[in-house]
A and B are shown apart, each in its own frame.
Chain A
Amino acid sequence: MRISEPQPVSGVGRRSFLGYVVGATTLVTAADLALGGPAAADVAAVTPSLPSIPELYDLNDFLTECAMPTSSLIAIAVHPDGTASFALPRAEVGQGVTTSTAMIIAEELELPVEKVVVTLAPARPELLFNQLTGGSNTTISTYTPLRVAAAVAKKALLEAAAVLLGDTVDQLVARAGVVSGPSGSATYGELASRAASPTGRKVDVTLKDEATFRVVGTARSRIDARDAVTGRKQFATDLQVAGALPTMVCRAPTLNGTPRALRNTAAILAMPGVTDVAVVDTGVAVRAETFGQCIDAVRAMDVDWKDGPVAGMSDDDVLAELRRAQNPIKLPNLPRNPLLRTVSRDFVFYFRSNSAMDTNSAVADVRSDGAEVWSALKSPIVAQQEIAKAVGLPVSKVKVNVVSGGGSFGRRLFFDGALEAAKVSKAMGKPVKLMWHRADDARVGRTHPMSTSRITAAVLGKNVLAFTQAHTSISTDFTHGLGEMISANLAKLPTGLGNLGFSETVFTLTQELPYNVGLASQTLTETDLRFNTGSMRNIYSPDVRTANELMMDVLAKQMGLDPLAFRRKFLRNARVKACLEKVAAVGQWGRFMPAGTAQGIAIHKEYKGASACLVEIDCRPATVNRTVPGGDASVTGPRVTKVVYAIDVGLAINPRGLEAQMQGGINDGIALALTSSMHLKDGHFLEASWDNYFYTRQWNTPPDVQVIVMPSDSTQPGGAGEAGVAATMAATACAYARAMRAMPAYFPVNHKAPLAFTPKPYIPPIPQSPTNGLDLTI
Chain B
Amino acid sequence: MPQQTFVLNGEQVTVDAPDDVRVLWVLRDLLGVTGPKYGCGINVCKACTSHINGRGFNPCSVQVGDLEPTDEVTTIEGLPATVGADGAELHPMQQAWLDRDVAQCGYCQPGQIMAAVALVKKVRREGRSITQQDLDEIRNICRCGTYTRIREAIQDGAARM
Is B83 on the interface with A (CB-CB < 8 A)?
no
Q: Is A483 on the interface with B (CB-CB < 8 A)? A: no
> By the criterion CB–CB under 8 Å, are B29 and A660 in contact?
no
Closest chain A residue to B141, Cβ basis: A690
A101 to B89, CA, bound (A): 27
1/0 per residue, CB under 8 A from A, across B27-52: the answer is 01110101111111111110100001
Asked if A545 is an interface residue, CB under 8 A from chain B, the answer is no
Question: Which residue from B102, B105, B135, B148 sits with its C-beta under 8 Å from A407?
Answer: B105
Question: Is A723 interfacial (CB 8 A cutoff)?
Answer: no
Check A290–B106 contact: CB distance below 8 A: no
Name, among B37, B39, B118, the residue most crowded by chain A CB atoms within 10 Å (CB to CB).
B39
Q: A220-249 interface mask toward B, CB cutoff 8 Å, 1 = contact, 0 = none? A: 011011111111111101101000001000
Q: In the bound complex, do residue A231 and residue B34 qualify as a contact, i.e. CB atoms below 8 Å apart?
A: yes
A210 at the B interface (CB under 8 A): no
With beta carbons under 8 angstroms apart, the residue of B37, B61, B113, B122 that contacts A776 is: B61
Let me know if B8 is at the binding interface, CB within 8 A.
no
Closest to A411 in B: B143
- A774 is contacted by which of B62, B110, B141 (Cβ under 8 Å)? B62
B86 interface residue per 8 A CB criterion: no
Q: Is A230 touching B94 in the complex (CB atoms < 8 A)?
A: yes
Chain A residues contacting B107 (CB-CB under 8 Å) are 94, 235, 356-358, 406-407
Most A C-beta atoms less than 10 A away, residue of B90, B119, B142: B142
Q: Is A437 positioned at the interface, with any CB of B under 8 Å from its CB?
A: yes
**Contact residues in B for A359 (Cβ distance below 8 Å):** 38-39
**Of the candidates A228, A238, A358, A699, which one forms a contact with B137 in the assembled complex, judged by CB atoms under 8 Å apart?**
A699
Question: Is A82 close to B, CB under 8 A?
Answer: no
Chain B residues with Cβ under 8 A from A771's Cβ? Answer: 20, 22, 61-63, 66
Q: Closest residue to B48 on the A side, CB-wise?
A: A773
Which one of B30, B36, B41, B47 contacts A769 once the chains associate, using CB atoms below 8 Å?
B41
The digit string for A401-424, where 1 denotes a CB below 8 A from any CB of B, is 000111111000000000000000
Residue in A closest to B105 when the chains form the complex, CB atoms:
A94
B150: which A residues are within 8 A, CB to CB? Answer: 698
**Are B119 and A246 in touch, CB under 8 angstroms?**
no
Q: Mark A644-673, 1 if CB is under 8 A from B, else 0.
A: 000000000000110011011111100000
A703 close to B132 (CB less than 8 A): yes
Q: Kindly state the interface size class of chain A when it binds its partner.
A: 35 or more
CB-CB contacts below 8 Å: B120-147 with A: 122, 132, 135-147
Question: Min CB distance, A630 to chain B, in Å?
Answer: 6
Q: Is B18 an interface residue (CB 8 A)?
A: yes
Q: Is the CB of A494 closer than 8 A to any CB of chain B?
A: no
Given contacts A292-B25, A357-B107, A630-B139, contact A770 B94 (CB under 8 A): no
Tell me, in angstroms, the Cα distance from A94 to B24 when the chains sit together.
Answer: 24
Nearest Cβ distance between residue A90 and chain B, in whole angstroms? 14
Cβ contact within 8 Å between A629 and B109 = no
A358 pairs with B37, CB closer than 8 A: yes
Chain B residue at smallest Cβ distance from A632 = B44
Contact A238 B57 (CB under 8 A): no
Selected from A93, A703, A766, A769, the residue in CB contact (under 8 A) with B105 is: A93
B98 within 8 Å of A (CB atoms):
yes
Contacts of B143 in A (CB 8 A): 355-357, 407, 409, 695
Of A225, A238, A631, A705, the contact of B103 (CB 8 Å cutoff): A225
The answer to whether B145 and A772 have CB atoms under 8 Å apart is no
Whether the pair A778, B61 counts as a contact (CB closer than 8 A) is: no
Residue of B with least CB distance to A245? B29
Partner of A698, one of B29, B57, B118, B147: B147
What residues on B are CB-neighbors of A93 within 8 Å?
Answer: 105
Complexed CA–CA distance, A699 and B144 (Å): 16
- Decide yes or no: A698 and B136 within 8 Å by CB, A356-B143, A632-B44, A769-B42 being known contacts: yes
B10 to nearest A CB, angstroms? Answer: 15
How close is B120's CB to chain A, nearest CB, in angstroms?
A: 11
User: Is B44 in contact with A664, judged by CB distance below 8 angstroms?
Assistant: no
Look across to chain B and name the residue whose beta carbon is closest to the beta carbon of A376. B105
A617 touches B (CB below 8 Å) = no
A660 to B29, CA, bound (A): 33
The answer to whether A777 touches B39 (Cβ under 8 A) is no
What mask results when residues 87 to 106 of chain A are scored 1 for a CB within 8 Å of chain B, else 0?
00000011110000000000
Residues of A within 8 A of B141 (CB): 357, 690, 695, 697
CA distance A104 to B35 in the complex (A): 31
- Asked whether any CB of chain B lies closer than 8 Å to the CB of A435, the reply is yes
In the complex, chain B residues whose CB is within 8 Å of the CB of A777: 52, 55-57
Check: B156 CB closer than 8 A to any chain A CB.
Answer: no
Contacts A273-B18, A290-B25 known; A691 to B44 CB distance under 8 Å? yes
Interface size in chain B (residues, C-beta < 8 A): 78
Q: Name the distance in Å between A644's Cβ and chain B's nearest Cβ.
A: 13
* A660-B104 in contact given A668-B145, A776-B58 (Cβ < 8 Å): yes
A226 to B122 CA separation, bound complex (whole angstroms): 26
Flag if A406 contacts B146 (CB, 8 Å): no
A774 touches B98 (CB 8 A): no
On chain B, the residues within 8 Å of A291 by CB distance are: 25, 28-29, 38, 41
Task: Give the residues in chain A near B146, CB-CB below 8 Å.
Answer: 660, 663-664
Report the nearest A residue to B39, measured CB to CB. Answer: A357
Chain A proximity of B61: nearest CB distance (Å):
3
Q: Is A289 an interface residue (CB 8 A)?
A: yes
Give the chain B neighbours of A224 by CB distance below 8 A. 103, 106
Contact A357 B108 (CB under 8 A): yes
Q: Which residues of A contact B18 (CB under 8 A)?
A: 272-273
Give Cα distance in the complex from A668 to B145, angstroms: 7
Query: Assuming A631-B139, A697-B139, is B147 touching A689 (CB within 8 A)?
Result: no
Residues facing A in B57-108 (CB within 8 A) are: 57-63, 66, 75-77, 89-90, 94, 97-98, 101-108
Kindly state whether residue A701 has any CB partner on chain B within 8 Å: yes
B7 at interface (Cβ–Cβ under 8 A)?
no
Q: How far is the CB of A151 from chain B (nearest CB, A)?
A: 28
> How would residues 609 to 633 of chain A score, 1 for a CB under 8 Å from any chain B CB and 0 otherwise?
0000000000000000000111110
Tell whether B17 is near chain A: CB-to-CB under 8 Å.
yes
Min Cβ gap B106→A in Å is: 3
Query: A399 interface residue, CB < 8 Å from B?
Result: no
Q: Are B105 and A357 in contact (CB under 8 A)?
A: yes
Chain B residue numbers with a CB within 8 Å of A289 are: 29-30
A665 to B148, CA, bound (A): 12
Q: Which residues of A contact B34 (CB under 8 A)?
A: 231, 234, 237-238
From B102, B137, B147, contact of A630 by CB (8 A): B137
For B39, the chain A residues whose CB sits under 8 A away are 357-359, 438, 690
Q: Give every chain A residue within 8 A of B158 (Cβ-Cβ).
A: none
- Chain A residues 294-327 with CB under 8 Å of chain B are 295
Q: Given A230-B94, A631-B139, A666-B145: A773 and B104 within 8 A (CB)?
A: no
CB neighbours (8 Å) of A667 from chain B are 145, 147
Residues A773 and B61 in contact, CB atoms below 8 Å apart: yes
Give the docked Cα–Cα distance between A701 and B20 (Å): 37
Closest residue of chain B to A293 (Cβ to Cβ) is B21
> Known pairs A230-B77, A663-B147, A773-B23. 15 more at Cβ < 8 A?
A94-B106, A225-B106, A226-B98, A229-B106, A237-B28, A291-B28, A355-B143, A358-B37, A406-B37, A628-B137, A664-B145, A690-B39, A698-B150, A774-B62, A778-B119
A-B contact pairs, 24 of them (CB 8 A): A94-B144, A221-B101, A222-B103, A229-B90, A229-B98, A230-B35, A231-B77, A235-B37, A290-B21, A356-B107, A357-B37, A357-B105, A357-B107, A404-B105, A690-B40, A698-B140, A701-B151, A769-B43, A769-B60, A770-B42, A770-B61, A773-B58, A776-B43, A778-B57
A-B pairs, top 8 by smallest CB distance, nearest first, are: A231-B35, A94-B105, A406-B107, A228-B106, A667-B145, A773-B61, A664-B145, A773-B62
